[in-house]
Amino acid sequence: MIKRMSYISHARATLALGLPLVGSHLAQMALHVTDTVLLGWYGVNELAAVVLATSTFFVIFILGAGFAQAVLPMVATAIGRGDEAQVRRDTRMGMWLSIAFGVLTYPVFWWSEALLLVLGQRPEVSILGQDFLRTAGLGMIPALLVMVLKNYLAALERTQVVLWVTLAAVGVNLVLAYALIFGHWGAPELGVRGAAIASVLVQSLTALALAIYAGWLPELRYFHLFQRFWRPDWQALHQVFRLGWPIGVTSLAESGLFQATALMMGWIGTVELAAHGITMEVAALSFMVHLGLSNAATVRAGRADGAGDRQGLRDAAKVAIALSICFGAVMVGLFLSFPVAIISLFLDESKPQSAEIIAFGVTLLAMAALFQMADAMQVMALGLLRAIKDTRVPMIAAAVSYWGIGIPCGYFLAFHAGMGGIGLWAGLVIGLVFAAVTMMWRFWHRVRA
């Protein structure tokens, strides 16, 4: 008979897993912010080029990262049922698929100037963007391998090392990018190419550090993660692929919702777009906490599922959802109580149009408070559904919620109902609410007693 844990014990275990993952997600954001700030100091064209280039890289990366994210529930479930060989098989094939994806997508980066021109970007910016991507594209494979290893270690409840390695990567990236962009300390001045070289080096070093830890730490060595790495395992490869590609498409659908909203906000005006960008940064910081808790929920629920503990699975889910709701309530209070102070952190109030940006940003922050809970619940539901190997129906739900409902509603409210930028964000709220309700219903329907 499986002994039932108390809710307090579940909460402690979830926080012990989730908080380091939250920290690593925030540190990962800091990597991109570092490059943006440094290139903002370097030049306007360079900054514009890298913003476009990194967005292009991210869209492709998030699709390929579905295979890495599939490793988290698969390894957690295998651990739950005590199948150590399956842990190695799934993780290794996750790395195989990540390497294959990186090789197959590199031509997009090599000929990216043509893509950027088709998307209406200026020639000088498109050329710089291609210069960045031809080098940065080499980092796709190590970046995806980092994701696989992070998820493997998280499933084994080794989240502390994920946090510390990511924090170290932020520091190394800052030093390397500063030297190579501006030509300091005897390094050549390479501009956008310097930022790309720094990113590839940091991704490669991070992958190496995690691989050494995962492969040679005495407590983990018995998994023999890299044993006969070159040998194919077609059954495990198929399982990771089948679970992973819907995860990638789901993430792409969600990120596409926010990208499309930003594009449409640009049609409305510069002030509105600036306020949108600032508010989205604030919302993204809050989202990282929910994402970390969702990852922890995947591990906890996945282990319970592997052990055949359905009550433990439901209890772990209830506690993770409650923790996410509590944090979301705190953020709603902050967004509604201190909107001006929050938006002002991102602006020099002496600059022209700052007052307009703050005024519109305050309104958007109120909208962000509206979708805070919905965003938390949809990412939590996704994490729990992945724990029970349910990824295809959530993919369809995400596509319908975001592209069939959210974007059309936002477009109609903004440009036909006369609501402008507020209408676009109302579309975000509607899409996220629909996704949260649909996915939560799906999970509890699947695990009901």
pLDDT at 227: 78
The pair of three-digit structure tokens given for residue 66, joined into one six-digit string: 């579905």
Contacts of 173 by beta carbon, 8 Å cutoff, 6+ apart: 31, 34, 35, 198, 199, 202
Tokens of residue 201, six digits: 């080096």
Query: What single-letter DSSP state applies at residue 6?
Result: P
Tell me the whole-structure pTM to 2 decimals: 0.84
User: Cα(206)–Cα(161) distance, rounded to whole angstroms?
Assistant: 11
The whole-number pLDDT of residue 348 equals 61
CA distance 180 to 189: 6
Q: What's the confidence (pLDDT) of residue 345?
A: 75
pLDDT of amino acid 44: 61
Cα separation of 375 and 280, whole Å? 12
Residues in the chain predicted with pLDDT less than 50, given as ranges, are none
Return the pLDDT at 157.
82
| pLDDT value of position 449 | 55
